[in-house]
Amino acid sequence: MLKVSRKSKLVSIITVMAILGLLASWNYFTRIQVQIQPVGMAVEFNDHAACAYVALSKGWYREQGLNFTSFESYATGLSLAAALARGDIQVAYLCLGPALLAYARGVPIKIVSGTHLYGYNLVAKPEIRTIEDLKGKIIGCVGEGSQVDLLLHILDWKYDLSISFEHDVRRANPPQLVMLLQTGKIDAAFLPEHHATIAESLGFKVLVTSQNLWPEMQGSVLVVKGDLIKSSPETVKRLVKVTYEATNFVNDHRIEAAKIVAYALRETTAADLPSAEITQPELITPQIIEKSMNKLNYTCRINPEEIQRCAEILLRLGYIDKPIIVEDVLNLDFLPKEV
């Protein structure tokens, strides 16, 4: 009988373990290469996308093997939706209204997660003390189909303000609207956060909140192109996983998250803004951002009934031509069970 020394046994065991380790590594990296697809990402230039800024700063996307071919910021969800339609972006964090508009206009996207509820406020000159005082005033608002545009219509319906959207409403992006308030060219503005809190810090008063007008309003969502789900569901799964973990961090570590978001916004120039100056970076402090973030409910939870309500308002206003079947635009299979 052939005797095998302890040394030979040890060498054999080490060799087998090394081979198994190499195979495991090869399988892991092969899986990453096959299933994780490089994507272009975009966010809105506000603190609605706090989870994305936190995840990017912490390196959590990279840890999940996610590779972004681009990471762009847009002043409004409407301009971001247009970028989605062009095809260079496969993943976006944007407000619900523009996301549904993009879907209705043929952009093949799926909503895979929420990011927050609420997050929009109407700010006005101090002398405007009641909602009724808005009658006959010039109100600033983002473009048709934006969340604040929908809220302004709801305000008009609820309080019978008889707003002439042709003559009484000044359209501009949020940073521009803040400047129009400062220069006295408009009397009030419906703004997304963090812009509304910046206006408040400049002496304007919050007259109406989105919670007042639309309880449980879905704010922003994470959308992906439908073909990304088909070609690389693992990419989508990891995007949602990071979004969920970053959202929890935003809720559990608000002060640190506010610092991260403030820094990111100060260092960002939105792709569709005419100049960096208009963003007024000196106003974007951690204190302002924390105050603003406290006005939002950051959550990945999605209520399909709220998606349906938004779609119905878009249809009522004539922004879309036919009803949206909510089940067709939602894919919540990637969300953790606890959401």
- Cα dihedral across residues 233, 235, 236, 240: positive or negative: positive
In what helix (H) or strand (E) does residue 323 lie, and over which residues does it extend?
none
pLDDT value of position 173: 94
pLDDT value of position 280: 72
Rounded to an integer, the average pLDDT of 250-269 is: 94
Q: Are strands 188-192 and 139-141 parallel, antiparallel or unpaired?
A: parallel
Return d(Cα 88, Cα 258) in angstroms, integer.
Answer: 29
- The pLDDT confidence band at residue 275, using thresholds 50, 70 and 90, is low
- The pLDDT confidence band at residue 16, using thresholds 50, 70 and 90, is very low
pLDDT value of position 101: 97
- Residue 143 pLDDT exceeds 80: yes
pLDDT value of position 247: 98
Give the single-character DSSP code of 71: E
- The pLDDT confidence band at residue 2, using thresholds 50, 70 and 90, is very low
pLDDT value of position 278: 52
Q: Which two tokens stand for residue 294?
A: 């406290």
Task: Tell me the pTM.
Answer: 0.88
pLDDT value of position 170: 98
Q: Which two tokens stand for residue 37?
A: 């697809």
> Using one digit for the tens of pLDDT, what is the confidence trace for 114-142?
999 999 999 999 999 999 999 999 999 99
% of the chain beyond a pLDDT of 70: 88
- The pLDDT confidence band at residue 279, using thresholds 50, 70 and 90, is low
Return d(Cα 143, Cα 32) in angstroms, integer.
Answer: 40
| Coil, strand or helix at 94 | strand
pLDDT value of position 267: 86
**β partners of residue 3:** none
* Total Cβ atoms within 10 A of residue 333: 12
Give the single-character DSSP code of 64: T
Q: Are strands 91-95 and 39-44 parallel, antiparallel or unpaired?
A: parallel
**Comparison of pLDDT for 268 and 186, the residue scoring more:** 186
Range name among 175-189, 256-270, 300-314 with the lowest pLDDT average: 256-270
Give the single-character DSSP code of 248: H
Return d(Cα 264, Cα 266) in angstroms, integer.
Answer: 6
First to last CA, the chain: 63
**β partners of residue 41:** 71, 91
Rounded to an integer, the average pLDDT of 183-196 is: 97
> Using one digit for the tens of pLDDT, what is the confidence trace for 67-121?
999 999 999 999 999 988 888 899 999 999 999 999 999 999 999 999 999 999 9
pLDDT value of position 32: 43
pLDDT value of position 87: 80
pLDDT value of position 36: 85
Contact 122, 155 (CB under 8 A): yes
What is the residue-wise DSSP string for 131-195?
GGGGTT--EEEPPTTSHHHHHHHHHHHHHT----TTTTEEE--HHHHHHHHHTTS-SEEEEETTH
